[in-house]
Structure 1
Amino acid sequence: MPSYIVTVATGSQWFAGTDDYIYITLVGSEECSERTLLDKALYNDFERGAVDSYEVNVSVDLGDLVLVKIEKNKYWVQDDWYCRYVTVKTPGGDYVEFPCFRWLVGDNEVELRDGRARLPQDEKNRIAKQHRKKELEYRRKTYRWKEWQPGIPMSIDANRHNELPRDIQFDSEKGVDFVLNYSKAIENLCVNQFMHMFQSSWSDFADFEKIFVRIKNTISEYVMQHWKEDFMFGYQFLNGCNPVVIQKCTKLPDKFPVTHEMVSICLERDLTLEQEIEAGNIYLADYEILEDVNANCTDPCTLQYLAAPMCLLYKTAQNKILPLAIQLGQTPGEENPIFLPSDGQYDWLIAKIWVRSSDFHIHQTITHLLRTHLVSEVFGIAMYRQLPAIHPVYKLLIPHIRYTIAINTKAREQLICECGIFDKANGTGGGGHVQLLQKAMKTLTYRSLCFPDYIKSRGMEKKEELPTYFFRDDGIRVWEATKSFVSDVVHIYYSSDEMVQRDEEIQAFVKDVCRFGMQDLDHSEFPKSLKTREELTLYLTVVIFTASAQHAAVNFGQYDWCSWIPNAPSTMRKPPPKQKGVADITLIIESLPDRGRSCWHLGAVWSLSQYQENELYLGMYPDEHFIERPVKDAMAMFRKKLAEISSTIKARNEGKRLPYHYMCPDRIPNSVAV
């Protein structure tokens, strides 16, 4: 009687093992085996991290193996099981791999195809075609779109983390409990002693050091020491948390009437302001999007304020970026003066603080939340709905979707919801953050997610003009390496552009992203179809880069740049000054966040800057969804290029007091998971 040797691997994460009954059925092109219980006498099967082998006898010729069916039935109590893969050794001695990498919950079953990736037009077997169709029908019922707030990207239809499909939940929900993590951060940072004085102001700048004593971080300490200086203020536009606002100024906006006489004392090259603009030495940061956004009013005892400033920046002969002029509103006039470096020290300082606070709001809500978290969730939901596990693009993208839907659901549950943690400390809490998201959606385009295009659209692409824009330089290297890897994989499975056009599943994927995820907004110009391998390569590069490098660049520096409260105030308690000469140390301290909000802010930026346990970094693919040698070779080449980039970045950072490492590949997680 012919026999097959079946090997089953159980996951190594917490609670992956099971005591339930596990059955297997081998489905061939000709016949099926009998349903067989996988059990060894006097042996505890399917323990966490175990690899178990069994003999399955058959009485008929099954033909070519098409799929295996795994069933789990309850033994005593509900006991979920995580199956990594199944390997079958045929009577002829061949080995067939069946990747799984999913949970079986309750009395459940899963049908697995062998590990070779296939496009839908490649399927010839009736059973295989039916399996593909059945899988997608189930996924579309399970992964449903839902509008969290009008006018922003759609999200998953789940109100709480524990309502999500088990396969996309965190292994340990405690690891991503924002309330628990923030409380732990506040305790670890020894700032809980100040929480009882929630609404009281600090005494002076030195007083802020009382919640800074536990920080052992070179960059944050350097920020604390130099935050008042113009060079530090300007440097952050290039390599801080939010290095995407600065743009080349080719013409002064009418709403920002800076004259040469105002700034001539700051210009180094014996040129007029107009000539400096023509020479490409003037830059602009405009926070117009904050205009008319409602400030947080959830606490009637504490008024909070927002501004929509503009900041003119100057590139010195030493290639430093320095602030040249600041206007704290969008409408020029007597009550909206232009602050200058030549003004009194407190006038200039409070103007810079207002810019830093506005930059914080744009960073948190638009650069970070919208343009990495929410966009990546859209790609993830559409992937689950439209691409079966056997599709090569599913196999390519699944590591870069890991935990993204879970972290976003947790954020909507605890962080950015009504009365959530966001409301406790942020000036845009209480609904202002939703207004910001809705306004930002009007400028979010597909091309703005293409890293080189976004850099160029702001006039920031020339390295010789700004040789210290490390965010740009490192990002371009990682983008090119990622795009090269994606191109290799695309060309393995698509031998022509016509094959892309004939792939109904990939076309459904991009259509789902545009039509539902991005709510079919015409201005966004998200593709509704893909016609060439080059277009597909670019699209998938956008997905991977957004979830990995772009998120890393704007997330993991939060503790470095925002933990010194005066450098990144999460709220302001006094309105922007309407005239010069009124600012003093008292006004500045009373404008900055109070003790309680400072503590919540510090706990937040600490928590959000932490890597996950067992983090998987760019190029690491321990779950072998692909089994083909050409793809594994492409992965190896990708890792080699990433290692070279990491070495280059580390060599450049050697000895620097402000090293830039947020785009270093060995610090870039595969996915948005925090």
Structure 2
Amino acid sequence: MFPLFKKKQKIKGTVVLMCKNALDLNDIKAGPSLGAGFGLVRDVVGGVIDGATAILGRSVGLQLISATKTDRMGNGFVGDQFFLEKRIPFLPTLAARQDAFSVYFEWDNDFGIPGAFYIKNYTQGEFYLVSLTLEDIPGHDSITFLCNSWVYNAKQYRKDRIFFANKPYLPHEMPAPLVNYRHVELDTLRGDGTAKREEWDRIYDYDVYNDLGNPDKSRDLARPILGGSSKFPYPRRGRTCRKPTKTDSASERPATDTNYVPRDEVFGHLKQADFLGFGLKGLNQNVIPKFRNFFDFDKEFDNFEEVRCLFEGGVKLPTDIISAISPIAMVKEIFRTDGENFLKYPPPHVIQADKSAWMTDEEFAREMLAGVNPCVIQRLQVFPPESKLDPNVYGDQTSTITKEHLEINTDGLTVEKAIQDERLFILDYHDAFMSYLKYINKPIPKSYATRTILFLKDDGTLKPLAIELSLPHPDGEKYGAVSKVLLPPEGHGVQRTIWQLAKAYVVVNDACFHQLMSHWLNTHCVIEPFIIATNRCLSVVHPIHKLLQPHYRDTMNINALARSSLISGGGIIEQAFLPGPYAVEMSSAVYKDWVFPDQALPADLIKRGMAVQDASAPHGLRLVIKDYPFAVDGLEIWDAIKAWVKDYVSLYYKTDVAIQRDAELQEFWKEVVEIGHGDHKNKPWWPEMNSINELVESCSIIIWLASAFHAAVNFGQYPYGGLILNRPTMTRRLIPEKGTKEYEEMEKDDQRAYLRTITPKTEALIDLTVIEILSRHASDEVYLGKRENDEWTADEKARVAFKRFAKKMEDIEKKIESRNKEPDLLNRTGPVKMPYTLLLPTSGEGLTCRGIPNSVSI
């Protein structure tokens, strides 16, 4: 090391960090006694910080690295090590539990301008390094290093921890003294694909979904490997390097206490999801078994009033369930506060204004446009509806719905005319479920594959015309389907009950498709490969890394939790949703037809026939249903996202050639296509990433999926589905046949017949508990149009462009609120008088049914 400092001039640095303390629940294991873990939390809150920070004095060393002067090897000079000094006692601008320390570096002109720094932690505990700000550099403005990373004891790392100044550089623009440091840091993040992953590791790598089953525990818990084959294609997940199962060397052992994710992807201190993730584990391991034991003698709701009692009076529970569920209750506030042992849920939005409007045909149809799954309905363009299932395997699966079924309710229009006038629509789950019904309906038949045809009325609302319920042919799949077509009845009586049941089968198809495909697959799952590729291939100083990183926050962590508790073999989804052990496998079948460019909202709407290109219309599209809340609000947000991305990208790329010559960007896209989504690598629809337009469109799709689209399909889960009557997750029997005992019961008691068919009590409580967790916003959520730190980049032009985007989001919020008040837009509130708020950009904490977080964070 050369002597660097001659004049020993001082420059001041301010380091902001958060010390680790027992509130970090990622280190509390979900074991038999959940209450003990939370007791630990309560004992330590408020008393740890001062003692911990006092230890840090002179135990954390920093070395500046020059961006303008090099050593003999051509790398930036590394200065001497200097230590943090005593804590600054008070800085009012700092967030909760953040502490500021001073550090003074010796500097002279021969060192040049700092562009990076090493940090070494000599304490035994880790801390979260927020930032370093350098001041008093002669002839230079202050320099900010945004770090946002956990730093462990220096001995845990093979390479010293390095952080770069907060200025973006394309690879060829990086100051020469820092180029090698940039490469070394990316190599560290990639790892070498081997060795056990430790909690302090920051390695991003790919793997298939081979950890959902647990064949060592039970043969019934074996699950197929998803990804890496044409039979079960799937996006890649983060590699954990756990050992294989004893039963199947190709399958990885499921996580026990924790599921490895790169350390900086783990939930932060303030995130409520720390508690929520902990609660999910406890729910699966402790609460659900007790629910089952307690409700074994009382499996059914007797009437609709008993279901509503969950929100009004609660369910009295024994002490052991109270003890097991109390940690979850700390987060969810699901107990009464009067000392009684009652489980009580908040009233879902769908019944807050009207308790029975959910039963209407109008609301049934409206939720296809403005509910929690508004992205599946299509315009009917071919009649009768056709199937894409292989006829050599499944025979003729063409719909049995006839023109006569429909034309009695199409206001005098023929089917041909109604199709021509763009007034017929279909919610089609036939193919997705038909190929799995032979498994789902064992040992006894319990559900159907459904098609629902709807008519666009003159007032802009939809009315259902027919529901087709289909089963595999009893002589074998190759003989096609056995179907029945049900029409809306007039008046009441048993036909009305049968129609209500038919709608329930449709909604169960919809609820399962929503949870497994629209939500899990099309947001959580497909985004993870982009996160991995970004961190492996794009340096933190790359402009595109800075653009995309906020939209990745917490996603790998919540996905890891999902693999261990929600979508795992025998997990919560398998217990509470119709497909059971075939749930995630079904999403693989849907992924076969996944097309990346079609995830853009305009392309999606056009593909589903819900919009047509029209240069004279807003957004260049004419919506077939003008009052389609998801599309109307979504297109404004999509356009705002794309305009922001275009503004930002134009700051760094002036020509298409610049895109082509960006080695990091090209490697990023190569990994996404060939590895992250490698089961689709040979598809012709992938953008080649050779132009500015391709980069803008691709980044816009990533941001849309991670933010607005996820919000649209996630935060309405409890507001709509918290009433299990409105969105049941399973059916348990087919429509009773005339002359049977069940048919007689249906004639006598329509509510009991409905409740005997849909989700029973235990599974309903499981479902409600989970979706309430998933529908809540954390206290530290960052919403679209916001950043955690206003100094997220040193590029002033980029910050100005982002302010324009933030202003657009504010304007969009006002427009949505205004539209929700327009009386002629009937689909925005519907019979339940529930405004469409899921794409309002901002939200407060909790269960709000609004707000667009930047990322798939829960």
Q: Is TM-score (shorter-chain normalized) higher than 0.5?
A: yes
Counterpart-to-counterpart distance in 1, 2:481 and 2:687:
49
- Kept in 1, the 8 Å contact 2:65–2:115? The answer is yes
Confirm or deny that 1:293 pairs with 2:436. Answer: yes
Q: CA deviation at 1:296?
A: 8.2
- Kept in 1, the 8 Å contact 2:406–2:465? The answer is yes
- The SS at the match of 1:25 is strand
Confirm or deny that 1:560 pairs with 2:711. Answer: no
- Kept in 1, the 8 Å contact 2:204–2:532? The answer is yes
- Kept in 1, the 8 Å contact 2:366–2:462? The answer is yes
- Kept in 1, the 8 Å contact 2:447–2:733? The answer is no
Q: CA deviation at 1:566?
A: 2.1
Counterpart-to-counterpart distance in 1, 2:285 and 2:17:
29
- The SS at the match of 2:856 is coil
Q: 1:79 aligns with which of 126, 130, 133?
A: 126
| Aligned counterpart, 1:375 | 526
Residue identity opposite 1:283 in structure 2:
F
Confirm or deny that 1:630 pairs with 2:797. Answer: yes
Counterpart-to-counterpart distance in 1, 2:422 and 2:573:
39
Counterpart-to-counterpart distance in 2, 1:280 and 1:331:
31
1:86-116 deviation digits (Å, cap 9, x = unpaired):
3243244532222212111122542222211
| Aligned counterpart, 1:26 | 64
- Kept in 2, the 8 Å contact 1:295–1:428? The answer is no
Q: 2:408 aligns with which of 265, 278, 281?
A: 265
Q: CA deviation at 1:181?
A: 7.4
Counterpart-to-counterpart distance in 2, 1:137 and 1:42:
36
For 1:419-438, list aligned pairs within 5 A: 419-430=570-581, 432-438=582-588
For 1:286-365, list aligned pairs within 5 A: 286-287=428-429, 288-293=431-436, 305-329=446-470, 335-342=482-489, 344-365=495-516
| Aligned counterpart, 1:452 | 602
For 1:22-101, list aligned pairs within 5 A: 22-28=60-66, 29-30=69-70, 31-40=77-86, 48-58=97-107, 61-74=110-123, 77-92=124-139, 94-101=141-148
Counterpart-to-counterpart distance in 1, 2:513 and 2:664:
36
Query: Which piece of structure 1 moves more, 515-524 or 491-500?
Result: 515-524
Identity over aligned residues, as a percent?
A: 26
- Kept in 2, the 8 Å contact 1:152–1:518? The answer is yes
Q: 1:211 aligns with which of 292, 300, 310?
A: 310
For 1:65-144, list aligned pairs within 5 A: 65-74=114-123, 77-92=124-139, 94-107=141-154, 109-125=160-176, 127-141=177-191, 142-144=203-205
Query: Which piece of structure 1 moves more, 40-49 or 589-598?
Result: 40-49
Q: CA deviation at 1:524?
A: 5.2
| Aligned counterpart, 2:835 | 659
Q: CA deviation at 1:295?
A: 8.0
- Kept in 2, the 8 Å contact 1:259–1:273? The answer is no
| Aligned counterpart, 1:548 | 707
TM-score (norm 1): 0.91
C-alpha change, 1:557 and 1:42, in structure 2 (3 Å) is closer
Q: CA deviation at 1:223?
A: 7.0
| Aligned counterpart, 2:331 | none
- The SS at the match of 1:566 is coil
Q: CA deviation at 1:402?
A: 0.3
Counterpart-to-counterpart distance in 1, 2:87 and 2:701:
51
For 1:162-561, list aligned pairs within 5 A: 163-172=260-269, 173-179=274-280, 195-197=294-296, 200-213=299-312, 214-222=345-353, 224-252=355-383, 253=385, 255-268=398-411, 270-287=412-429, 288-293=431-436, 305-329=446-470, 335-342=482-489, 344-430=495-581, 432-461=582-611, 463=622, 465-522=624-681, 525=684, 527=686, 529-561=688-720
| Aligned counterpart, 1:649 | 816
| Aligned counterpart, 1:154 | 236
- Kept in 1, the 8 Å contact 2:128–2:148? The answer is no
Counterpart-to-counterpart distance in 2, 1:611 and 1:42:
33
Q: CA deviation at 1:221?
A: 3.4
Counterpart-to-counterpart distance in 2, 1:574 and 1:509:
49
C-alpha change, 1:452 and 1:672, in structure 2 (3 Å) is same
1:15-63 deviation digits (Å, cap 9, x = unpaired):
4975341111122214432122222499899994223333222467212
Q: CA deviation at 1:292?
A: 2.5
C-alpha change, 1:13 and 1:665, in structure 2 (3 Å) is farther
1:434-478 deviation digits (Å, cap 9, x = unpaired):
221111111110122111100111111265631220100111100
- The SS at the match of 1:596 is helix
- Kept in 1, the 8 Å contact 2:85–2:101? The answer is no
- Kept in 2, the 8 Å contact 1:485–1:638? The answer is yes
- The SS at the match of 2:63 is strand
Which 5+ residue runs of structure 2 have no aligned equivalent?
Answer: 1-6, 22-48, 71-76, 192-202, 210-224, 227-232, 241-253, 313-344, 387-397, 474-479, 613-621, 823-828, 843-850
Residue identity opposite 2:601 in structure 1:
F
Query: Which piece of structure 1 moves more, 367-376 or 83-92?
Result: 83-92
1:251-302 deviation digits (Å, cap 9, x = unpaired):
212522333332333222x22222212211100111021112268879x9x9
Query: Which piece of structure 1 moves more, 545-554 or 334-343?
Result: 334-343
- Kept in 2, the 8 Å contact 1:4–1:91? The answer is no
Query: Which piece of structure 1 moves more, 584-593 or 234-243?
Result: 584-593
- The SS at the match of 1:231 is helix
Counterpart-to-counterpart distance in 2, 1:359 and 1:647:
31
Residue identity opposite 2:204 in structure 1:
Y
Q: CA deviation at 1:193?
A: 11
Counterpart-to-counterpart distance in 2, 1:386 and 1:178:
34
Counterpart-to-counterpart distance in 1, 2:661 and 2:471:
50
Q: Number of residue pairs matched? A: 664
For 1:569-648, list aligned pairs within 5 A: 569-575=728-734, 582=743, 584=747, 585=750, 586-623=752-789, 624-648=791-815
Query: Which piece of structure 1 moves more, 611-620 or 26-35?
Result: 26-35
C-alpha change, 1:13 and 1:536, in structure 2 (3 Å) is farther
Counterpart-to-counterpart distance in 1, 2:718 and 2:541:
40
Q: CA deviation at 1:317?
A: 1.5
1:192-247 deviation digits (Å, cap 9, x = unpaired):
79953476222233332222324334434357411221101100111111111111
Q: CA deviation at 1:569?
A: 1.2
Q: CA deviation at 1:515?
A: 1.0
Counterpart-to-counterpart distance in 1, 2:560 and 2:623:
43
Which 5+ residue runs of structure 1 have no aligned equivalent?
Answer: none
- The SS at the match of 1:547 is helix
- Kept in 2, the 8 Å contact 1:416–1:423? The answer is yes
- The SS at the match of 1:322 is strand
C-alpha change, 1:576 and 1:73, in structure 2 (3 Å) is farther
Confirm or deny that 1:6 pairs with 2:12. Answer: yes
- Kept in 2, the 8 Å contact 1:194–1:599? The answer is no
| Aligned counterpart, 1:668 | 852
- The SS at the match of 1:336 is strand
Residue identity opposite 2:787 in structure 1:
Y
- The SS at the match of 2:678 is coil
- Kept in 2, the 8 Å contact 1:13–1:171? The answer is no
Residue identity opposite 2:463 in structure 1:
L
| Aligned counterpart, 2:394 | none
- The SS at the match of 1:567 is coil
Q: Which has the higher contact order (CA 8 A, sep 6+)?
A: 1
